[in-house]
Amino acid sequence: MVKKTLRSLWTYLLPYRFRFVLSILLGMLSAAFNGFMLIGFQLIFSLVLKGQTRTLGEPTKLPLIGELNLAEIMGVADDTPVGLTGVMTACAFIPVLIFIRGFLSYLSSYMQAWVTSKMVYQIRNDAFRSVLRQSPGFFNTAKTGELMQSVTAQTGVVQRNSMTLVQTLAQRPLTIISILVVLFAQDWFFTLMSLVVFPACLVPIIRIGKRVRRVGANEEYDSRALMVAMQETFSGIRLMKAYAREDHAAARFDRSNASMTRNMVRWTKAMELVGPVVETVASFGIAAGLVYAWHRGLEAENFFIMVMALTQIYPPVKELSKVQILLQKTTVAASMVFELLERQPDIQDAPNAIDVGRAKGAVTFQNLTFYYREQNGDKKEVPAVQGIDLQLDPGKFYAFVGPSGAGKSTLYSLLLRFYDPDEGAVLMDGHDIRSLTQNSLRGNIGVVSQDTFLFHDTVAANIAFARPDAAQEDIERAARLAGAHDFVLALPEGYATMLGERGYSLSGGQRQRIALARAILSDPRVLVLDDATSAVDPSKEHEIREAMASVMDGRTTIVIAHRLSTVRSADRIVVLDQGRVAEQGMHEELLTHGGLYARLVGHQLAAAS
């Protein structure tokens, strides 16, 4: 899994490979500069500690360089004393050396941050687009909170940890090598004495790493569960309050939050334990080196440099010890994101799919059979629709009625190609819709559903959702046809009024009319009204029906209805029962027949009286 995930990350890194390589080179240069700084500090310490007694011509022995005569370099006499000026000049080089190393490190870190940000930006965009490409069936089983977590939080983990890993792997080994080179050049035996316990540091790193990998993976899964709990609660907040279940929601959130917090604490405890363990073990080596230094009688400047080098070598070792842990956490988060990226939609355009253009609106359901799927992908035992044969002529008004679960909404879902039938076909103007591009097919169909969805945006933007480039006059014309113009003008800012999330600041009837205006603006050849008046008060239903009637003329209209009063004027009423066509005909004809439709009408009349 790790290799596959890293290969996937590399494909996103490729467009920025030149900056990436440059950032690594700058980081390596910054790391290598640590060794050069040690040599410079030894020269400075030598001048500072012996500045009152030595001359510039007195040779200074430096590791890797050998003996250095400052008098020759500066072009002065050998007996020139160092003096206060020389000491101050030497000390002035300390901030210069530190600045150079810091500047190189800054450039490297900035470029790495730029590269990883761009990389994750593209991953996040592609992940979001991957979710949008999925068929509606995917969302029947997917958890919205988990999808949000993958697109946002887990890509954030990839971004942060990727930068840390690159910096650690590119710079820390070279930092260690550059310091070791100077140490061995200075005194190889002292260096060996100080590093003799180094292999022992690997034991706690390996043991702690195994535990942290498991805990890190659990934390990612807990984080997803927390997002799911939060998203579902906020989405269903009205239902939650209606049933006074806030305490239940809080308890569910608390369980997920507590589990994630426990794993975060365990992960942090294990991560932070690595450093002290490595430092403690390393201190024995430093102590051994110091005993040797005392025995050998090292000069003060050499002793300071050796101790400084030893204290600088273990921090990068400590950081490298965490690489495996960070890599595991990064790959867990990245694998969840790439799992989403690599998922292919159940419904895809055929390789030679055609654009149907402006359709006439003829729809045919041809020997149609469809089964919904269980979560494991297996077919359900009973088909949602079976053996459906219907011909819908352009410009006519059709009604699909029947008991709940009869297959009415399934037919319109198949028409929109949210699903593909198991048997038979759906035709648009004689074309199997599987041979058409999804965008051109759906561009000819307008939908107003019983569950009207409005965005947290202006009224105008909600109407123009179907046609973002629509002019204001076109938006207002659609609103007039839908019977929405007058109440929109009465809003505080008219068409510029911001609607709350899902449009809950409007009444049910107002939301339906905004949704109808949206469908009108798209100018569809086929208009589907899926129980569009179910959430409207009966006193307002007549107004909605009148608005609908004004836009149905000339379009193939399919009305899915439970309130049979809305379908009496239909050119044909199709009565569905248990996924099959039970009967079809006009209102009076079906009443005379005395079948299922007549019984449904009778039940509704009895309930109304």
Separation CA 220–CA 332 (nearest Å)? 8
Q: Cα 477 to chain center, whole Å?
A: 39
Residues 293 and 217 in one domain: yes
Task: Report the pLDDT value the prediction gives residue 363, as an integer from 0 to 100.
Answer: 93
Residues 450 and 313 in one domain: no
Residues 453 and 336 in one domain: no
> pLDDT by residue (tens digit) across 98-143?
888 889 888 988 898 899 889 888 988 888 888 888 888 787 777 7
Q: How confident is the model at residue 217 (pLDDT cuts 50, 70, 90)?
A: low
Residues 308 and 402 in one domain: no
Residues 84 and 227 in one domain: yes
User: Is residue 196 in some structural domain?
Assistant: yes
Q: Considering the entire predicted model, what is its pTM?
A: 0.74
Task: Report the pLDDT value the prediction gives residue 300, as an integer from 0 to 100.
Answer: 65
Domain closes at, from 341, 356, 379? 341
Reduced to 3 DSSP states, what percent helix, strand and coil does the chain have, rounded to the nearest 5? 65, 10, 25
DSSP H helices in 297-386:
300-321, 323-341
Evaluate whether 479 touches 463 at the Cβ level (below 8 Å): yes
Q: Does residue 59 surpass a pLDDT of 90?
A: no
User: Is residue 436 in some structural domain?
Assistant: no
Look up the domain containing 151 and give its range.
2-341
> pLDDT by residue (tens digit) across 10-56?
888 889 989 999 998 998 888 888 877 777 777 666 666 655 555 55
CA 35-36-41 angle, to 5 degrees, is 100
User: Is residue 371 in some structural domain?
Assistant: no
Residues 188 and 46 in one domain: yes
Higher pLDDT, 60 or 246: 246
Residues 314 and 447 in one domain: no
Task: Report the pLDDT value the prediction gives residue 385, as an integer from 0 to 100.
Answer: 92
Query: Per-residue pLDDT averaged across 331-358, rounded?
Result: 86
Long-range contacts of 465-471 (CB under 8 A, 24+ apart): 465/518, 466/518, 466/519, 466/521, 466/522, 467/521, 467/522, 470/521
What percentage of the chain carries pLDDT values higher than 90?
13
Strands 397-401 and 385-392: unpaired
Phi first, then psi: give them for residue 500, nearest 5 degrees.
Answer: -70, 175
Task: Report the pLDDT value the prediction gives residue 208, as an integer from 0 to 100.
Answer: 66
Beta strands in 53-168 (DSSP E): 60-62, 66-68
User: Is residue 419 in some structural domain?
Assistant: no
User: Is residue 581 in some structural domain?
Assistant: yes
Residues 100 and 249 in one domain: yes
Name the nearest CA neighbour of 365 among 325, 329, 400, 315.
Answer: 400
Higher pLDDT, 229 or 577: 577
Task: Report the pLDDT value the prediction gives residue 89, as an integer from 0 to 100.
Answer: 66
Task: Report the pLDDT value the prediction gives residue 500, as an integer from 0 to 100.
Answer: 72
Edge-first strand listing for the sheet containing 385-392: 385-392, 363-370, 423-428, 431-432
Domain closes at, from 303, 322, 341? 341
Separation CA 589–CA 598 (nearest Å)? 10
Evaluate whether 57 touches 77 at the Cβ level (below 8 Å): yes
User: What is the tally of structural domains in the chain?
Assistant: 2
Reading phi first (left if > 0) and then psi (alpha if -120 to 50, else beta), residue 596 is in alpha
Domain closes at, from 341, 356, 376? 341
DSSP secondary structure code for residue 533 in this structure: T
User: Is residue 511 in some structural domain?
Assistant: yes
Q: Does residue 74 surpass a pLDDT of 60?
A: no
Task: Report the pLDDT value the prediction gives residue 202, as an integer from 0 to 100.
Answer: 67
Residues 152 and 296 in one domain: yes
User: Is residue 416 in some structural domain?
Assistant: no
Q: Which CATH number does the domain housing residue 162 bear? A: 1.20.1560.10
Residues 329 and 459 in one domain: no
Strands 445-449 and 526-530: parallel
Q: Is 266 exposed, middle or buried (0-12, 13-18, 19+ CB in 10 A)?
A: middle
Kind plus residue range of the DSSP H or E element containing 391: strand 385-392
Residue 544 corresponds to which amino acid? I
Separation CA 516–CA 355 (nearest Å)? 26
User: Is residue 379 in some structural domain?
Assistant: no
Residues 593 and 460 in one domain: yes
Residues 317 and 401 in one domain: no
DSSP string, 163-220: HHHHHHHHHHHHHHHHHHHHHHHHHHHHHHHHHTTGGGGHHHHHHHHHHHHHHHHHHH
Q: Which CATH number does the domain housing residue 470 bear? A: 3.40.50.300
Separation CA 44–CA 48 (nearest Å)? 6
Paired tokens of 282: 């390393």
Q: Cα 456 to chain center, whole Å?
A: 21
